[in-house]
Chain A
Amino acid sequence: MGTTDGEQTAAGLLEDPKSFDPKGTLALILVYFCILVTMWVYIYFVEFLGNDLIVVG
């Protein structure tokens, strides 16, 4: 919007705060999402492949 393609300048943001586009935040959240997915897959292995059947009784 108020800034040139890509980089948002400090002055530009102070002048027009609503032009702020939180790209860094999006990037961080995508990283978090990837970690979550990896951990989920990992837990799948722990639960279904890591343990033998437990027979009670």
Chain B
Amino acid sequence: MTATADAPAATADDGTAPDDGTGGSEPGTETFYDRFPEAARIVRATFLGAFLAFAVGTTFGIIQTLHRTGIARPFSSVDYYTFLTAHGVFLVLSFTIFFLVGVFTWALVRSLDRPLVNTRFSWAWYGLMATGMTLTGLTILAGFTSAVDVSADVLFTFYAPLQAHPLFYGGLAVFLVGTWLAGLDWWRTFLAWRREHPDERIPLQAFMVLTTTIMWYVATSALAISVLFFLLPWSLGLIETVNPTLTRTLFWFFGHPVVYFWLMPAYLLWYTVLPSIAGGRLFSDPLARVVFVLFLLLSTPVGIHHQYLDPGIAEGFKFVAMTNTMFLLLPSLLTAFTVVASVEYGARVRGGTGLFGWLRTLPWRDPAFTGMMLAGLMFAAGGFSGMVNAGMNINYLIHNTIWVTGHFHLTVGTAVALTFMAATYWLWPQITNKPIYSRQIGLAQVVLWFAGMALMSNAMHAQGLLGVPRRTAEPTYSGFEYGSAFGGYGELNLQVAIGGTILFASAVLFLSNVVLTMGNSRTDGLAETLAEPISGSEDAPLVLDNIRLWGGIAVLLVLLAYALPIVAIVQRGGLFGPGGEAYPMVLDALAILAEQAPDVLVERMPDVLGGGWAGGWP
């Protein structure tokens, strides 16, 4: 079949793996490790990279929590922003993306039932990702010492006017290229499979990986431009100034779809693994494909919803972004329905009855199952705060408050992170042939994460409604008191701190369990199989598999949503901007206004004042 040594000789040449619609098969008693040992090693390496980032990131998480609530401040408030940058970058760029390239590699190879085309190429992208992220990470951590003149306290949203050392951007660029090559690797492997199987439907898991990869290419195009043409030359001193609104807009062009990049591997696991763990079957393969196509189409032309308070962008463009965002709710609602129905099927087959009684028959003692279900439940809660964020008017209520932080600890911090931890309990044995050290600890761990997050995130939401700002080392001000709703600021701080401590304990349990598992010896009999969907790919219209068509439409929608705003931003502020600092821009705008006729002044004054001062430079 291929030149690589991956597939065992006994099965390498048959090419007749039975096609269950979720993808290939794990015939008989073979684990992924048995069948594709080389790919399994890559997946294991990506997971270990992810866990390292998780360990450092969550440690910083508890430090921040205790600092901003005033409970313990062993470090200076200046260092707070170094911790915060590292927490953000390590968790949402490193942990999530390393884990997801592993999930995608596993899912693609498994569902195509075919090894990667060239394992050395796969190690090359892994090496680039690891090198790039190490550079970026060390540059951030160098901010703790004044011994070297290197720092990158720019937060994970690294747009101007905050500036980092060039190594920060350089490392990110290398990391990004690594992810692009990973996508190329999956596509090449898929095309090789296509030549071997010209008439077959794309297996579901492979379909999910391939559409998400295209979304990633679209999303990261703007980030590459921002880093290579503006931020990196600017921090190297090659150009004097940049246009901050432009770099912000390019960042958020990437910043929304990246949340779906984190989420799609979780969806993949919910759609294709969770039903099997529950003893059920995926309710509908076609519906799953529709969902992934919708995400490809709609993930990117919405990024401006992060900029509702940006003064440099016309309200009309923001309205377009809001409309697209509301459409984007649809695929997540479809997912809620499909996944729950698939699990319900499992419960009914296990003998569950009643309108809600079936819930009792589910395998709640299985940490993989319970973890993923709790993650999904948290996502539903995050859906509510997300709708508040997404509304142009109501966003003003919570913009840049700790509410937003509460929101994304439900989404990326739980729906994604907890799904990844839960999936580890199921996947790790498949990719290593080692049984999990303790499934009881695993179960306790996922429940603790849920409880800790319920406490911390809920209190963050409530504090946000009181107006408590995010990204603030000491969010108290002399001569000012927060309102007393929800128990008041002090009590909510206590909830944040207790929740954060429980979360940290959960993270420690997870990591210890993984380390102890690595000490186990390899055994047989760990192989798990995935069940076929109830309604299989034969029910899905062929056009769904036309990824080129969907990619084309996605690019078109992005052009429609972004061409005019970007032209307007460049026309107004210049490609390289009026300066790297925030407040002269407001002065400029005021100067322009002063020259205009009074009626224009009346029209635009509220925008400039409200946006410029209330919005600031988050």
Query: Which of chain A's residues have a CB closer than 8 A to the CB of B387?
Result: 36, 40
Q: Restricting to A39-57, which residues have a CB under 8 Å from any CB of B? A: 39-40, 43, 46-47, 50, 56-57
Q: Is A10 an interface residue (CB 8 A)?
A: yes
**In contact, A22 and B283 (Cβ under 8 angstroms):** yes
**In contact, B384 and A36 (Cβ under 8 angstroms):** yes
Q: Is A17 an interface residue (CB 8 A)?
A: yes
Query: Which of chain A's residues have a CB closer than 8 A to the CB of B355?
Result: 23-24, 27
**CA–CA, A40 and B386, complex, Å:** 12
Q: Is A7 an interface residue (CB 8 A)?
A: yes
Q: Is A1 an interface residue (CB 8 A)?
A: no
**CA–CA, A6 and B337, complex, Å:** 20
**In contact, B609 and A32 (Cβ under 8 angstroms):** no
**In contact, B356 and A29 (Cβ under 8 angstroms):** no
**CA–CA, A8 and B358, complex, Å:** 11
Q: Given the known inter-chain contacts A13-B348, A20-B348, A43-B388, please indicate yes or no for A25 contacting B337, CB distance below 8 A.
A: yes
Q: Distance (Å) between the CB of B359 and the closest chain A CB?
A: 8
**In contact, A24 and B349 (Cβ under 8 angstroms):** no
Q: Given the known inter-chain contacts A28-B340, A47-B397, please indicate yes or no for A20 contacting B388, CB distance below 8 A.
A: no
Nearest-CB residue, chain A, relative to B388 = A43
Q: Which of A20, A35, A50 is packed against the most chain B CB atoms within 10 Å?
A: A20
- Which residue from B341, B349, B350, B394 sits with its C-beta under 8 Å from A22? B341
Query: Which of chain A's residues have a CB closer than 8 A to the CB of B354?
Result: 24
**In contact, B337 and A10 (Cβ under 8 angstroms):** no
Interface of A is mostly: helix
Q: Distance (Å) between the CB of A35 and the closest chain B CB?
A: 8
Q: Distance (Å) between the CB of B604 and the closest chain A CB?
A: 15
**In contact, B344 and A25 (Cβ under 8 angstroms):** yes
**CA–CA, A35 and B614, complex, Å:** 32
Q: Is B476 an interface residue (CB 8 A)?
A: no
Query: Which of chain B's residues have a CB closer than 8 A to the CB of A47?
Result: 394, 397
Nearest-CB residue, chain A, relative to B534 = A17
**CA–CA, A22 and B287, complex, Å:** 15
Query: Which of chain B's residues have a CB closer than 8 A to the CB of A36?
Result: 383-384, 387
**In contact, A57 and B336 (Cβ under 8 angstroms):** no
How many chain A residues sit at the interface, stated as a range, is 20 to 34
**In contact, A24 and B351 (Cβ under 8 angstroms):** no
Q: Is B568 an interface residue (CB 8 A)?
A: no
- Which residue from A13, A39, A50 sits with its C-beta under 8 Å from B349? A13
Nearest-CB residue, chain A, relative to B532 = A17
**In contact, A39 and B609 (Cβ under 8 angstroms):** no
**CA–CA, A8 and B354, complex, Å:** 9
**CA–CA, A18 and B282, complex, Å:** 12
**CA–CA, A50 and B393, complex, Å:** 16
Q: Is B314 an interface residue (CB 8 A)?
A: no
Q: Is B121 an interface residue (CB 8 A)?
A: no
**In contact, B609 and A22 (Cβ under 8 angstroms):** no
**CA–CA, A24 and B350, complex, Å:** 14
**CA–CA, A13 and B353, complex, Å:** 12
**In contact, A56 and B614 (Cβ under 8 angstroms):** yes
Query: Which of chain A's residues have a CB closer than 8 A to the CB of B359?
Result: 24
Q: Is B59 an interface residue (CB 8 A)?
A: no
Q: Is B207 an interface residue (CB 8 A)?
A: no
**In contact, A46 and B397 (Cβ under 8 angstroms):** yes
Q: Given the known inter-chain contacts A17-B345, A22-B341, please indicate yes or no for A27 contacting B356, CB distance below 8 A.
A: yes
- Which residue from B281, B341, B347, B465 sits with its C-beta under 8 Å from A46? B465
**In contact, A32 and B348 (Cβ under 8 angstroms):** no
Q: Distance (Å) between the CB of A27 and the closest chain B CB?
A: 5
Query: Which of chain A's residues have a CB closer than 8 A to the CB of B345?
Result: 13, 17, 20, 22
**CA–CA, A56 and B611, complex, Å:** 11
Nearest-CB residue, chain B, relative to A43 = B388
**CA–CA, A17 and B412, complex, Å:** 34
Query: Which of chain A's residues have a CB closer than 8 A to the CB of B349?
Result: 10, 13-14
Nearest-CB residue, chain A, relative to B281 = A17
**CA–CA, A18 and B454, complex, Å:** 37
Q: Distance (Å) between the CB of B421 and the closest chain A CB?
A: 24
**In contact, A29 and B281 (Cβ under 8 angstroms):** no
A-B contact pairs, 6 of them (CB 8 A): A13-B345, A20-B345, A24-B344, A24-B359, A36-B383, A39-B384
Give me the interface of B with A, judged by CB distance under 8 Å. Answer: 281, 283, 336-337, 340-341, 344-345, 347-351, 353-356, 358-359, 380, 383-384, 387-388, 394, 397, 465, 485, 534-535, 609-610, 613-614
Give me the interface of A with B, judged by CB distance under 8 Å. Answer: 7-8, 10, 13-14, 17-18, 20, 22-25, 27-29, 32, 35-36, 39-40, 43, 46-47, 50, 56-57
**The 8 nearest A-B residue pairs measured at CB:** A22-B341, A25-B341, A25-B340, A17-B534, A24-B344, A27-B355, A10-B351, A25-B344
